[in-house]
Chains A and B, each alone.
Chain A
Amino acid sequence: MTDAAGKPHLSRAHLLDLLRQMLRIRRFEEKCAELYTKEKIRGFLHLYIGEEAIAAGVMRCLTPTDAVVATYREHGHAIARGIPMQPVMAEMYGKQEGCSHGRGGSMHIFDAKTRFYGGNAIVGGGLPLAVGLALADRMQRRSNVTACFFGEGAVAEGAFHESLNLADLWQLPVLFVCENNLYAMGTALARSESETDIHRKAESYRVPAEVVDGMDPVAVEAAASRAVAAVRAGNGPRFLECRTYRFRAHSMFDPELYREKAEVEQWRKRDPIPHLIGWMREAGALHDPDLAALEAEVAAEIEAAIAFAEQSSWEPIEDLTRDVYAPVQP
């Protein structure tokens, strides 16, 4: 899990927090899948299960005034960023107490308090927004970083190339985080890209890039911490290619005809959660009662979130056209 070189000394509390964040995401989404079969959650539901180490590791490196732009597979980012689970779950239900007032659903989680700018469901569509948010911070002399998450499918979009070019040309404070889970929905990377080493694409725009094991939250955090420091220091954008795997189907409608079960099983052996647990146990940083207590704490948080969502209300139909336009001040 760690190598001797370049790894910071990690306290037990630090490791427990990484584990807690990954467990919160994992258990939340497992419950979401259940709630989907009960038709409590509808529409598209894209699960992040298997990729939790990335959100858990990167979010630890951000300050409260930094900005986050994510994709339609963003529950993990939202939770790790610190949006309370209750309004996130209410959003999954489509209730008006949801963090996006119920108007967005699973794919469109927004939160002004944590500067969480979605929940963007057009592949690659969030990258230009991140460039603009970073430009606004730069022009207003704020030292914020904008972290922009996207999958490897996005690198086939023009928006990816245009955004990396612009971010580097203008030396903007963006951390690009590519979550390379090898499949753009059902299209394998090698079937869609002539260059499958994605970090090389970033380097071709002169954006310094690093490849990191996306199944290792400690490695992700270490790389993100270096990258964020460089971005915040005004050295322009940085790029992380996190190699990871989606354990579940693309969405709840996906029969997974495009990949072998054996491949999924191979990757499951690298599941970041049991790995971190095993490593902490070996290091004497985690004992059975600790884990049980952590699981119980997470389960209670999720139960409270579900109860909140259940008790939340449906927006009246009379409100249908609200929030299309912001009111103009006279």
Chain B
Amino acid sequence: MIAETRDGGFTETTYREAVRTAIREALLSDDRVFLMGEDVGRYGGCYAVTKGLLAEFGPERIRDTPLSEGAFVGAGIGAALGGMRPIVEVMTVNFSLLALDQIVNNAATIRHMSGGQFAVPVVIRMATGAGRQLAAQHSHTLEGWYAHVPGLKVVAPATIEDARGMLSAALADPNPVIIFEHVLLYAVAGKLPAVPAPISLTGAAVRREGHDITLITYGGSLPKTLAAADSLASEGISAEVIDLRCLRPLDTATIVRSVSRTRRAVIIDEGWRSGSLSAEVAARLMEDAFWELDAPIGRVCSEEVPIPYPRHLEEAALPQAAKIVSAAHVALGR
């Protein structure tokens, strides 16, 4: 669908620009929406996502915050309780640990603890992932931690369409939504319909159809997984690629349907293997598709090491297309 450009209804863009367009549209369409975070205004965003927004919308709606993740994330939760629709940008998932109390103890619980009296329609965006030689403290993948918590919705847009569409869906949702944007996706270029179709906040997507094996992934690992599927295709192996998109709630039906057909699965997750989201996906396949499987479920995760600085070691620590191909071979017994 994206490839059909002849009617002129598509524009060349990047993931970064798609997120910016989505924020801009949200600010234009709803007075309750505002953006706050570290360096979102004058600096233009650590990843240049919010460049130009301060000039267009002013400091009341594009709020630079002090380096106080707990306070400004908590203030976003409070502002949502007070009737606003805040978009809180936490520069990276690494710094979100300083706001974990507010997210887990307040955003996720207030609706429940109040017996349904209050909703917390806050959107928290953060960059995530490794791959830029930023070493152990700036390379975390903790989506699985957040996806563990009832009361939160967690999404990981892996495509330009989702980067563009998930924000407005998140703002329309009365629950706290965390959006994870992988740092390596910001520069990805592609085409986007000038008038995009509405995007759902729920449900996994089949990004490539196939019949020999199902590769299940999300976020920044999607391009690597699609590259692995290309490589497998050149050997005559037809891999189906599923992008989870929404990490909580997980769309079990789509993965079970696919694996019931291909009978083999490999899960690709940039999180560490132990206690990862991939473990949850594998467990659900065991629960719901055990009798359909022809081989043990494979996993390609980050190695159990803080992410190291040197390029060759970082690459070795992370899922890569070659590892995915090897894991697929094991699952296929060839």
On A, residues with C-beta under 8 Å from B are: 67, 98-104, 108, 110-112, 117-120, 122, 125, 127-137, 139-140, 158-159, 162-163, 165-166, 169-170, 322-329
Which chain A residues lie closer than 8 Å to B118 at the CB level?
A: 110, 112, 117
Docked complex Cα distance between A119 and B65 (Å)? 27
Instruction: Report the 9 A-B pairs with minimum CB-CB distance, sorted nearest first.
Output: A132-B78, A128-B74, A101-B115, A136-B82, A162-B71, A110-B114, A132-B75, A162-B68, A326-B174
A127 to chain B, nearest CB (A): 7
Interface string of B53-90 (1 = CB under 8 A from A): 00000001001011010111111111111111010000
Give the residues in chain B near A67, CB-CB below 8 Å. 82
* Among A99, A104, A322, residue most surrounded by chain B Cβ atoms (within 10 Å): A104
Name the one of A101, A103, A129, A325 contacting B78, with C-beta atoms under 8 angstroms.
A129
15 contacts between A and B (CB under 8 A): A99-B115, A101-B114, A108-B114, A112-B117, A125-B101, A128-B78, A130-B78, A131-B71, A136-B81, A136-B84, A139-B34, A139-B60, A162-B66, A170-B63, A324-B150
B-side contacts of A128, CB under 8 Å: 70-75, 77-78, 102
Residue from the list B66, B113, B150, B201 in contact with A165, Cβ < 8 A? B66
The interface residues of chain A lying within 8 Å CB-to-CB of B252 are: none
Smallest Cβ-Cβ distance to B174: which chain A residue:
A326
Q: Tell me the minimal C-beta distance from B97 to chain A in angstroms.
A: 12
Answer whether A132 and B83 are a contact pair too, CB < 8 Å, given A108-B114, A112-B117. Answer: no
Complexed CA–CA distance, A119 and B71 (Å)? 18
Determine how close the nearest CB of chain A comes to the CB of B167; give it in whole angstroms.
15
Q: Which residue of A lies closest to B114 (CB)?
A: A110
B60 to chain A, nearest CB (A): 7
Count, chain B residues at interface, CB 8 A: 45
* With known contacts A101-B115, A132-B75, A326-B111, A162–B70 Cβ distance under 8 A: yes
List the A residue with the shortest CB-CB distance to B169. A328
**Would B175 and A325 count as touching, CB distance under 8 A?**
yes
Other than A99-B115, A132-B77, A166-B71, give 5 A-B pairs with Cβ distance below 8 A.
A100-B115, A122-B101, A131-B74, A136-B80, A325-B153
Q: Which residues of B contact A328 (CB under 8 A)?
A: 172-175, 201
Indicate whether A324 sits within 8 Å of B68 (C-beta atoms), given known contacts A133-B78, A139-B79: no
**Interface membership of B333, Cβ < 8 A:** no
> A277 → chain B, closest Cβ, in Å?
36
Contact B151 A159 (CB under 8 A): no
Which A residues are in CB contact (< 8 Å) with B70? Answer: 128, 158-159, 162
- Structural contact, A125 and B71, CB atoms closer than 8 A: no
Query: Quick check: B111 and A325 within 8 Å, CB to CB?
Result: yes
